[in-house]
Amino acid sequence: MTTKSDYTEEEWNGLMTAPIMAGTYIIAADVSMTAMGKEMKGMLQAIQKQDVPDASKELVAAIVADIVAKSSNKEKMEAPEMEKDADGLQQILDGIVEATAVLETKSNPDEAAGYKQWVLDVAQATAEAGKEGGFLGIGAVRVSDKEKAALAKLKSTLGLD
């Protein structure tokens, strides 16, 4: 099991921002003003829920503790710069890949897979938190086709196929 001391500050910040980037990726994949607030709230709740495989529980708990501490201190977490188009979505994925790549070299395969699954679970919870489409809620769906496609791409990007 790895701990915060096994990572540089930049690597640790990447691990802290990856679940936020994953949630943001889902929100940006199908922007809905009516669902955005619920999806952001769902993302934050999923991050704090920490429902992760045993192999990565300690790592994720430490990451969440730092996210909560930064939030409580009203510290801003550095988000990657991105374009506001399809390239921006790819930049988010690239940021997630960069952040999680360090796990391949510093942690064991089970811990890395558990962390990546947690990131994907945060994205899934984000997608399920709000409804898209329809009129006044009639005909709306919990997870839109664009969000399903984004989740599938994120899953593949994380190597969780």
Average pLDDT of adjacent 10-residue blocks, the chain of 161 residues: 93 95 92 79 87 89 92 63 67 93 93 95 91 64 88 96 83
pLDDT on residue 149:
95
Closest CA to 24 of 137, 147, 140: 147
Q: What is the pLDDT of residue 161?
A: 83
Question: Range of 52's domain?
Answer: 4-157
3-state DSSP assignment of residue 38: helix
Structurally, how many domains does the chain consist of? Answer: 1
DSSP per residue over 108-145, as a string? -HHHHHHHHHHHHHHHHHHHHTS-BSSBTTBT-BSS-H
The pLDDT, as a whole number, for residue 136 is: 60
What is the predicted pLDDT for the residue at 16? Answer: 95
3-class SS at 46? helix
CA–CA distance, 96 with 79 (Å, rounded to integer): 11
